[in-house]
């Protein structure tokens, strides 16, 4: 029963070299500080314990950690306890590989981080543990991290970024092969990929418990992928939001529970269990899939209800006590809130603050800047080149408000900024000209559509559509950009053509929609049309008229559900009945789904009108109330 005690860079630490430690038998204690216990920094750290109920305690960057190196910790047997501060228990930084593999035993993994997530929370801390990969955004990518536990009833406890998480071009995974396990974390955990990274939590079997606040349990955020797979067992899941196969910002989010009688509690049902949205001209994937089993989902009907349970049991949820009788145990934060500043540069810092912790000052500071009028306009013009996302958000909020009063001055500054040699200034000016729909900037933007940088060309293509200039020269330019050498330029041009909706739109998009090689361009064209707000009766005829190929109509079919309020029931039914049978079959299915989801009287009337006029009886089976209408006709 050995004791291994050390400070930093000890106990199998590979610092520009190789550190090895083998322990064959006994209940051992490993206690050290940072960069220890199988830590590889420009080297290899390897710790292998063959037997015994072992205790591992260390600081940060430890217990299977690699950065420009490899950290590998293997424990073959025993009920082991792993405790760290942060960045460990299979953690990989840039060009690193961090692996912790425990083959058997009822093990406990605890990360008690001292690193407060001060931009968002007072009481939560960044872990980066238990299968976590971290890149140095935006300079360097992360590495490969894997925590693998093969047998035993295990417990995993961490806070933010843990239990199969990847951040910024990294891959973090937690794989548990057997046992009744408990996973507890707060955010960005349990199969979470963040900012072009991948996160995976895979549990093969056992009755498991998963608890997290959000952005977890199979959640991708910002062009990333987050996956949670549970193969078997009667499992329990608890989450707040953006979890259970839900994510945002063009991510892939997958939750799979293959079998078992499972229970789910999701406080925010609007963005959990298969949620997805649409950004940056393309969408994302959110999948919640539960296989075999008799599962339980939370119900709001139990709020303020009382039911008897068996002979002497009761379920009670009732507001019994008056609020004044409840003790106020929360800390009064008003005394420590930062006061609103007076000077404009300090106000801009407050206006750009992280919204979760400092939200109380964000909007007041932005409004205070707006109240400073021309001084604010001149100050904000010096911030056009910012690389801070939060400062960009502040600019996006403040400038349009000031534009209402100082339109000429802001137009002049933005148009001048379009000629800046600084990339960030130029691209901000382009985006803001589109947001404010500054038509005086069209000629300048048109000039930059021939820029050597494809990013500039793509941004110009989109802003021409946002501004809304439908002149022939603009349409012709966008059509030329459909043949650009870069797919993002082609996609932005297609989106803008869809937004502008020229009368020749069907002819323009014929080759784009039929060419399967340009999927991004095709999807962008469709989204542009959907967002055009120009789907009146005449334009629907342009898209679905007799001269348009059926294949093109199939691609655009969902546009019909986005019709504007001027379109009548008869317009839709007549448009439908004059189509070819394959298209009518697809359209009727779409209309039936639209009605089932929205329960809109308009779509119900459309369906009824179509059934009364449709001569192909085999198509009527698509509609669920076919029999009722037939009786009415008879």
Per-residue model confidence as pLDDT tens digits over 44-76: 999 999 999 999 999 999 999 999 999 999 999
**pLDDT on residue 633:** 46
Q: What is the mean pLDDT of residues 6-31?
A: 97
Does residue 21 have a pLDDT over 80? yes
Q: What is the mean pLDDT of residues 536-558?
A: 87
The pairing of strands 313-317 and 305-309 is antiparallel
Q: Output the six-digit token pair for 413.
A: 């500054």
Q: At CA 27, angle to CA 22 and CA 33, rounded to 5? A: 65
Instruction: Give the chain's radius of gyration (CA, Å).
Output: 29
Q: What is the mean pLDDT of residues 449-471?
A: 93
Look at the block and give the residue holding tokens 């029999």.
627
Reported as a pLDDT band with limits 50, 70 and 90, residue 358 is confident
**pLDDT on residue 151:** 96
**pLDDT on residue 632:** 44
| Host H or E run for residue 623 | none
Neighbour tally for 497: CB within 10 Å: 29
Distance between CA atoms of residues 262 and 208, nearest Å: 9
Which of 64-73, 310-319, 560-569 is the most confident on average? 64-73
Q: What is the mean pLDDT of residues 287-303?
A: 77
Reported as a pLDDT band with limits 50, 70 and 90, residue 313 is low
**Per-residue pLDDT tens over the stretch 593-616:** 888 877 778 888 988 989 888 888
**pLDDT on residue 308:** 58
**Per-residue pLDDT tens over the stretch 85-113:** 999 999 999 999 999 999 999 999 999 99
**pLDDT on residue 305:** 64
Distance between CA atoms of residues 115 and 454, nearest Å: 40
Which of 24-33, 327-336, 624-633 is the most confident on average? 24-33
**pLDDT on residue 220:** 94
Q: What is the mean pLDDT of residues 384-395?
A: 91
CB 551 within 8 A of CB 514: yes
Average pLDDT, the chain: 89
**pLDDT on residue 320:** 63
Q: What is the 3-state secondary structure (H, E, C) of 521-560?
A: HHHHHHHHHHCCCCCCHHHHHHHHCCCCCHHHHHHHHHHH
Does residue 35 have a pLDDT over 50? yes
Look at the block and give the residue holding tokens 């009732």.
318
**pLDDT on residue 397:** 94
Reported as a pLDDT band with limits 50, 70 and 90, residue 329 is very low
Q: What is the mean pLDDT of residues 74-83?
A: 97
CB 91 within 8 A of CB 39: no
**pLDDT on residue 389:** 86
Q: Give the residue with greater pLDDT, 624 vs 187.
A: 187
Question: What pairs with residue 97 in β-bridges?
Answer: 70, 144
Neighbour tally for 3: CB within 10 Å: 9
Q: What is the 3-state secondary structure (H, E, C) of 497-518?
A: HHHHCCCCHHHHHHHHHHCCCC
CB 176 within 8 A of CB 210: no
CB 444 within 8 A of CB 418: yes
Q: Which segment of 65-69, 348-352, 510-514 scores lowest on mean pLDDT? A: 510-514
**Per-residue pLDDT tens over the stretch 611-623:** 888 888 888 888 8
**pLDDT on residue 304:** 66
**pLDDT on residue 558:** 86
Q: Output the six-digit token pair for 323.
A: 């609020």
Reported as a pLDDT band with limits 50, 70 and 90, residue 314 is low
**pLDDT on residue 441:** 93
**pLDDT on residue 316:** 63
Distance between CA atoms of residues 303 and 300, nearest Å: 6
Cis peptide before 270 (omega within 30 of 0): no
Distance between CA atoms of residues 8 and 41, nearest Å: 12
Reported as a pLDDT band with limits 50, 70 and 90, residue 297 is confident
Q: What is the 3-state secondary structure (H, E, C) of 257-313?
A: EEECCCEEEECCHHHCCCCCCCECCECCEEEEEEEECCCEECCHHHCCEEEEECCCE
Question: What pairs with residue 305 in β-bridges?
Answer: 317
Task: Name the nearest CA neighbour of 551 among 577, 583, 504.
Answer: 583
Question: Terminus-to-terminus CA distance in the chain, angstroms?
Answer: 90
Q: What is the mean pLDDT of residues 562-570?
A: 90
Q: What is the mean pLDDT of residues 412-439?
A: 94
Give me the torsion for CA of 567, 568, 569, 575, rounded to 10°. -60
Does residue 321 have a pLDDT over 70? no
Phi, psi of 547 (to 5 degrees): -85, -5
**pLDDT on residue 279:** 75
Q: What is the 3-state secondary structure (H, E, C) of 123-192?
A: CCEEEEECCEEECECCCECCCEEEEEECCCCCEEECCEEECCEEECCCEEEEEECCCCCEEECCEEECCE
Reported as a pLDDT band with limits 50, 70 and 90, residue 629 is very low
Task: Name the nearest CA neighbour of 422 among 388, 384, 454.
Answer: 384
**pLDDT on residue 175:** 98
pLDDT > 90 in the chain, percent = 62
Q: Give the residue with greater pLDDT, 544 vs 56.
A: 56
**Per-residue pLDDT tens over the stretch 252-292:** 999 999 999 999 998 887 888 888 877 776 678 888 989 88
Does residue 513 have a pLDDT over 80? no
Q: Which segment of 442-446, 462-466, 594-598 scores lowest on mean pLDDT? A: 594-598
């Amino acid at each position: 029963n050995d004791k291994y005690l050390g400070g930093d860079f000890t106990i199998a630490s590979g610092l520009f070299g190789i550190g090895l430690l083998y322990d064959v038998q006994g209940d051992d204690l490993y206690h050290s500080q940072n960069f220890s216990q199988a830590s590889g920094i420009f080297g290899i750290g390897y710790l292998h314990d063959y037997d015994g109920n072992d205790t591992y305690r260390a600081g940060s960057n430890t217990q299977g950690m690699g950065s420009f190196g490899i950290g590998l910790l293997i424990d073959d047997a025993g009920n082991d306890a792993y405790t760290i501060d942060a960045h460990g228990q299979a953690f990989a930084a840039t060009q690193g590989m961090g692996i912790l593999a425990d083959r058997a035993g009822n093990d406990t993994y605890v990360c008690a981080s001292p690193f407060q997530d001060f931009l968002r929370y007072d009481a939560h801390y960044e872990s980066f543990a238990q299968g976590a990969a971290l890149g140095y955004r935006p300079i360097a990518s992360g590495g490969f991290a894997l925590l693998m536990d093969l047998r035993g009833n295990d417990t995993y406890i961490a806070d933010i970024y843990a239990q199969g998480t990847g951040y910024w071009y990294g891959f973090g995974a937690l794989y548990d092969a057997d046992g009744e396990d408990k996973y507890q974390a707060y955010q960005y955990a349990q199969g979470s990929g963040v900012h072009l990274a991948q996160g995976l939590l895979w549990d093969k079997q056992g009755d498991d418990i998963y608890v997290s606040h959000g952005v977890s349990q199979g959640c991708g955020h910002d062009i990333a992928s987050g996956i949670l797979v549970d193969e078997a067992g009667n499992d329990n899941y608890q989450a707040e939001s953006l979890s259970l196969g839900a994510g945002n910002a063009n991510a892939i989010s997958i939750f799979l529970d293959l079998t078992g009688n499972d229970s789910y509690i999701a406080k925010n049902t609007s963005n959990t269990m298969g949620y997805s949205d649409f950004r940056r001209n393309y969408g994302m994937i959110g999948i919640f899939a539960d296989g075999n089993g008799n599962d339980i989902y939370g119900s709001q009907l139990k709020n303020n209800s009382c039911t008897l349970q068996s002979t002497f049991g009761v379920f009670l949820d009732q507001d019994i006590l008056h609020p004044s009788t409840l003790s106020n145990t929360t800390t009064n934060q008003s005394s420590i809130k930062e006061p609103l500043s007076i000077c404009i540069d300090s106000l801009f810092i407050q206006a750009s603050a992280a919204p979760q912790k400092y939200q109380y000052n964000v909007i007041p500071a932005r409004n205070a800047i707006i109240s400073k009028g021309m001084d604010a306009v001149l100050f904000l013009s010096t911030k056009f080149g910012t690389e801070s996302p939060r400062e960009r958000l502040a600019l996006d909020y403040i400038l349009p408000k000031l534009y209402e009063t100082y339109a000429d001055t802001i137009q002049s500054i933005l148009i001048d900024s379009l000629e800046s040699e600084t990339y960030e200034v130029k691209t901000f000016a382009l985006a803001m000209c589109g947001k404010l729909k500054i038509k005086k900037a069209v000629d300048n933007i048109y000039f930059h559509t021939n820029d050597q940088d494809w990013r500039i060309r793509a941004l110009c293509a989109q802003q021409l559509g946002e501004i809304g200039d439908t002149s022939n020269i603009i349409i012709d330019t966008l059509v030329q950009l459909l043949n650009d050498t870069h797919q993002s330029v082609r996609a932005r041009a297609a989106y803008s053509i869809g937004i502008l909706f020229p009368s020749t739109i069907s002819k323009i998009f014929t080759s784009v929609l039929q060419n399967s090689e340009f999927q991004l361009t095709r999807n962008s064209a469709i989204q542009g049309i959907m967002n055009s707000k120009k789907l009146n009766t005449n334009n629907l005829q342009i898209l679905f008229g007799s001269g348009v190929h059926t294949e093109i109509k199939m691609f655009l079919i969902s546009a019909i559900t986005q019709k504007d309020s001027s379109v009548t029931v008869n317009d839709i039914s007549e448009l439908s009945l004059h189509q070819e049978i394959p298209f009518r079959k697809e359209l009727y299915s779409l209309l039936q789904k639209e009605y089932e989801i929205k329960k809109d009287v308009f779509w119900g009337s459309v369906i009824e009108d179509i059934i009364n006029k449709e001569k192909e009886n085999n198509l009527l089976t698509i509609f669920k109330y076919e029999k009722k209408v037939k009786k009415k006709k008879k």
